[in-house]
Amino acid sequence: MEASAIIFYCIAAFILGAGILAVTTRKIFRSAIWLLFSLVGIAALYFWLQVEFIAAVQIIVYVGGIVVLIIFSIFLTQQSGKEMAKPSGKHVLFSLLAVLFGLALIYNLISEYGFAEQASRPFQVAVGEIGMQMLSTTQHGFILPFEAVSMLLLAAMVGCIVIAMKNKSGNLEAAEPPAGKLMIHSDFTSSTTEKEA
């Protein structure tokens, strides 16, 4: 067995192990950390597959963005150190059965299919090429999905702000202070405006 194969199996074991722990641990913060490890393992897998760009994007978006977001939401919604309720035995059993059957089915399909291996062709991912193709308007260009995704991101951003704002309008105390100035309470704001006037 070659060294690269050994590395692959190590990475695979790490990803799956961390993934299993992420869905089974009953401490929510640990679950997020295991998810993080699983995602980092997937980034390592991308490095192994020599798609460094995807690996870097994976780390930036998933680790730097999504997991931090998840951890923040845990900070905001969870009481420290409380364990989650244990799922009922019946629940676990049937979930496990469904998952195992699904796994068996797909594994069967994969092993039966016999992919046409096209070895020995170089696989190069030049960052410049990704950029070129992303913005090209020719037949194999990706400008349309790129724009669509940009619109989606914009919509998501607006949506997040709207969702977060809705609750705040009625609740003045929780509102963020207006930019640059600090709101203390009513008599303060009134007197500062007097002073400015």
Partner 1 sequence: MFSLEGITGTVQNWLLNTFNPQVALLIECAIVILLAISLFAVLGLVLVLMERKVAAHIQIRLGPNRVGPGGMFQTVADTVKLIMKEGLTPDLADKFLFNLAPFVVMIVAMLLLAPIAFAKNFQIWDINIGVLYVSAVSSLSVIGILMAGWASNNKYSLLGAMRSGAQIVSYELSAGLAILSIVVLTGSLQISDIIASQQDGWWLFKGHIPVIIAFVIFLIAVTAETNRAPFDLAEAESELTAGFHTEYSGMKFALFFLAEYINIFIVCAIGATLFLGGWMPLHIGNWEGFNHVMDYIPSSVWFFGKTFFLIFLIMWFRWTFPRLRVDQLLNLEWKYLLPISLFNLLLVTLIAILGWHF
Partner 2 sequence: MNSVPLAHILFVSTALFCIGMYGLFTRRNIITMLMSIELMLNSVNINFVAFNKYLWPEKLDGIFFTLFIITIAAAEAAVAIAIIINLYRSHNSIDVEDATELKY
Partner 3 sequence: MYTQTDVIKDTTADGPEGELVINMGPQHPATHGVLHLVITLDGETIKKIEPHLGYIHRSIEKMTESLTYRQFTYVTSRMDYLSAHINNLACAMTVEKAMQIEVPERAKVIRVLMNELTRIASHELWIGAMAMDLGAFTPFFYAFRERELITDIMEETCGARLTMNYMVPGGVMYDIHPSFQQKVKEFVTQFKHKVTEYEDLVTNNVIFQSRTKGVGFLSKEDAISYGCSGPVARASGVSCDIRKLYPYEVYDKVQFDEVLDTAGDSFARYMVRVREMNQSIRIIEQLIDSIPEGEFQAKTKAVLKPPKGEFYTRVETARGELGVYLVSEGGTTPYRIKYRSPGFSNLSALDHMARGSKIGDLMATMGTLDLVIPDIDR
User: Which residue ranges make up the site for partner 1 (CB under 8 A)?
Assistant: 3, 27, 29-30, 33, 36, 40, 52-53, 55-57, 59-60, 63-65, 67-68, 71-72, 74-75, 80-81, 126-128, 176-177, 179-180, 182
Among residues 61 and 175, whose Cβ is nearest to partner 2?
61
Tell whether residue 86 is a contact of partner 3 (CB under 8 A): no
Question: Environment class of residue 39 by beta-carbon count within 10 Å: exposed (0-12), middle (13-18) or buried (19+)?
Answer: buried
C-beta closer to partner 1: residue 83 or 147: 83
Report what 75 binds from partner 2, partner 1, partner 3, none; CB cut-off 5-8 Å by kind. partner 1
Tell me the torsion sign for CA atoms 91, 96, 101, 105.
positive
Residue 117 or 173 with smaller CB distance to partner 3: 173
| Backbone angle region of 80, left / alpha / beta, with phi > 0 → left and psi within -120 to 50 → alpha | beta
State which of positions 41-70 bind partner 3 (CB under 8 A): none
- Rounded distance between C-alpha atoms, residue 65 and residue 39, angstroms: 12
CB atoms within 10 A of CB 67: 18
Whether the Cβ atoms of residue 74 and residue 29 lie closer than 8 Å to each other: yes
No. of helices (H) and no. of strands (E), the chain: 8, 0
| C-beta of 120 vs 186, nearer to partner 3 | 186
**Tokens representing 76?**
């905001």
AA identity, residue 14: F
Maximum Cα interatomic distance, the chain, rounded to a whole number of Å? 81
The helix or strand, by DSSP H or E, that contains position 142, with its residue range, turns out to be none
Q: Work out what residue 20 binds among partner 1, partner 3, partner 2, none; the CB cut-off runs from 5 to 8 Å by kind.
A: partner 2
Residue closer to partner 1 (CB basis): 109 or 126? 126
Report the alpha-carbon angle 84-71-66, nearest 5.
Answer: 120
Of partner 1, partner 3, partner 2, none, which one sits near residue 173, judging by CB under 5 to 8 A according to partner kind? Answer: partner 3
Footprint on residues 165-194 left by partner 3 (CB under 8 A)? 173-174, 181-185, 187-188, 191-192
Task: Give which of partner 3, partner 1, partner 2, none residue 193 binds (C-beta under 5 to 8 Å, depending on kind).
Answer: none
Binding site for partner 3 (CB under 8 A): 76, 173-174, 181-185, 187-188, 191-192, 195
